């Protein structure tokens, strides 16, 4: 093995080591950031007022996006299930059953949160990042305010509390999307679709989706806030932090999706 090959191998190993060290440093920084965020608010009245405002901005403003996406996804799932289950051995009502379970188990929580990571996560990161580069956060610190707690905790609490509502809306609207396919097309009859929705229903699937959504909502709000809070530079760096926050949130959502699925569906 010549010297050039050894140099390339050692350089690759060194780069992997540095990435691992940077990841550990970022995780430690995130843990310290979380400790500051979850301290007792100085004024509960201010905290409550800000939380209500964040519910409106992060939750209620996301409802139109959730409804539009859910209707079309529910319709697409129903169409694809019908087109791919044409075997006479498969009962016709399986389209409704499969549409229901796909929506409850995966789309209404994991896929929805991946979509919201782009909308809500980028909004949070850019807002806090802009406050950082314009020195508004520094001004709060000078006044003796715990800026992490004041800015971030209302966002996390508001989004985590409102996320189950978005998930329930997504579940219902997606199923309605499939129902509209049955009503306005001849792909499947309405009676078979409705019967499939009712067949072999497992209530735990609804709770499973809601539980997962709480974890994902926390990931989206906290990770986006973390990247926005520690922005350094100018407007371009705010955009980069917003992108990094969305990417990191999406990766963590997929990771915890696997972990929670293993724990909750054993």
Q: Let me know the angle formed at the C-alpha of 39 by 244 and 117, rounded to the nearest 5 degrees.
A: 25
Q: Where are the beta strands (DSSP E) in 205-249?
A: none
Cα–Cα distances (Å) from 85 to 89, 92, 196, in that order, read: 9, 8, 14
Instruction: Please tell me the predicted confidence (pLDDT) of residue 14.
Output: 54
The span from the CA of 216 to the CA of 254, in Å, is 9
The span from the CA of 76 to the CA of 10, in Å, is 50
**Three-state secondary structure call for residue 259:** helix
Instruction: Please tell me the predicted confidence (pLDDT) of residue 3.
Output: 60
Number of H helices and E strands in the chain, helices first, is: 11, 0
pLDDT digit string, tens, across residues 51-75:
999 999 999 999 999 999 999 999 9
- Nearest-10 crossing angle of helices 94-102, 147-184: 170
In the structure, what pLDDT confidence band is assigned to residue 254 with cuts at 50, 70 and 90?
very high
Instruction: Please tell me the predicted confidence (pLDDT) of residue 10.
Output: 58
pLDDT digit string, tens, across residues 132-191:
888 888 888 888 888 889 999 999 999 999 999 999 999 999 999 989 988 888 888 888
pLDDT digit string, tens, across residues 199-223:
888 889 999 999 999 999 999 999 9
């Amino acid at each position: 093995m010549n010297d050039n090959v050894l140099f390339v191998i050692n350089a690759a190993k060194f780069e992997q080591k540095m990435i691992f060290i940077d990841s550990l440093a970022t995780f430690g920084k995130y843990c310290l950031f979380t400790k500051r965020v979850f301290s007792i608010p100085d004024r509960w009245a201010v905290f409550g007022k800000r939380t209500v405002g964040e519910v409106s901005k992060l939750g209620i403003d996301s409802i139109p996006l959730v409804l539009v996406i859910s209707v079309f996804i529910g319709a697409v799932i129903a169409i694809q299930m019908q087109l791919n289950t044409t075997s006479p051995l498969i009962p016709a009502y399986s389209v409704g059953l499969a549409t229901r379970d796909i929506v409850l188990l995966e789309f209404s929580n994991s896929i929805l949160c991946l979509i919201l990571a782009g909308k809500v996560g980028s909004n949070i990161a850019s807002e806090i990042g802009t406050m950082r580069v314009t020195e508004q956060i520094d001004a709060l610190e000078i006044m003796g305010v715990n800026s992490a707690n004041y800015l971030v905790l209302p966002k996390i609490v508001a989004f985590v509390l409102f996320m189950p509502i978005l998930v329930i809306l997504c579940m219902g609207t997606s199923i309605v999307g499939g129902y509209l396919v049955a009503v306005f097309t001849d792909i499947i009859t309405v009676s078979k679709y409705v019967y499939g929705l009712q067949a072999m229903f497992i209530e735990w699937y609804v709770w499973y989706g809601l539980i997962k959504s709480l974890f994902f909502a926390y990931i989206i709000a906290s990770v986006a806030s973390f990247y926005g809070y520690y922005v350094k530079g100018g407007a371009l760096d705010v955009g980069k932090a917003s992108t990094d926050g969305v990417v990191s949130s999406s990766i963590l959502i997929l990771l915890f999706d696997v972990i929670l699925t293993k724990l909750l569906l054993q």
